[in-house]
Amino acid sequence: MTAVGRAVAGTALAAALGGLGAGCAGQSGTGGPDGSPGSGPGTAGTGGGAAGDRVVYFSTTPKGPTDDQQVLHDRAEADRYAARFAARDPQAQAQIAAAGRATDFTRQVLVGWTATTGCSAATSAALTVSGDRVALQVSQPKPPPECVMAFRVSVVFRVAKERMPAQPVFG
């Protein structure tokens, strides 16, 4: 193949990948797998965990913080988490900090969780606790075959303190 042929092939490949990425990035994550309303960035989603667990922040995006899990035991920890987690998103930072202010830390904790969900945006999230193991369960539609960009979910749960193990094992 000549240099011109390689350049044309490379340009065509870049254009095709750009179009595929744009199609995947256009998903908002605000609809459920059946087209029913889901949760948009910064709104409470469907918890699905134990009675009393509540999603107090939910966002899904192709970009975001790295995978992380953290139990927040008091308002100061919640404020630090909000500042670190959402440093570039003042709305998210304010929503997470507000959740910390609204939490009764004598009876509850907040659990922040960020994870990659693959090529489809999560529509809801639930926290499961079994013994010392704490796991994130996400609902999401089947990914489109042409998607080339991974999505991330960021969620903060309010959980009864007695449900959380003293030394949680995340995974």
| DSSP secondary structure letters along 9-74 | HHHHHHHHHHHHHHHHHT--S-B-TTS-B---TTS-----SSTT-EEEEEEEESS-PPSEEEEE-S
42 pLDDT more than 50: no
Q: How far apart are CA 54 and CA 60, in angstroms?
A: 17
What is the value of pTM for the model shown? Answer: 0.70
Residues near 47 by beta carbon (within 8 Å), at least 6 away in sequence: 53, 54, 55, 124, 125, 126, 127, 157
Number of domains in the chain: 1
What does the pLDDT read at residue 1? 53
The DSSP string of 71-104 is EE-SHHHHHHHHHHHTTT-HHHHHHHHHHHHT--
Percent of the chain whose pLDDT exceeds 90: 54
What does the pLDDT read at residue 57? 95
Q: Which amino acid is at 60?
A: T
pLDDT tens by residue, 119-159: 999 999 999 999 999 999 999 999 888 888 889 999 999 99
What does the pLDDT read at residue 53? 82
Residue with tokens 């975001």: 64
Mean pLDDT lowest for which of 8-17, 108-117, 148-157?
Answer: 8-17
Go through 39-58 and write b for each residue having 16 or more CB atoms within 10 A of its CB, e for each that does not: bebbebbebebeeebbbbbb
What does the pLDDT read at residue 59? 93
What does the pLDDT read at residue 2? 52
Q: What is the mean pLDDT of the chain?
A: 76
Q: Which domain holds residue 130?
A: 3-170
Between 22 and 79, name the one with better pLDDT. 79
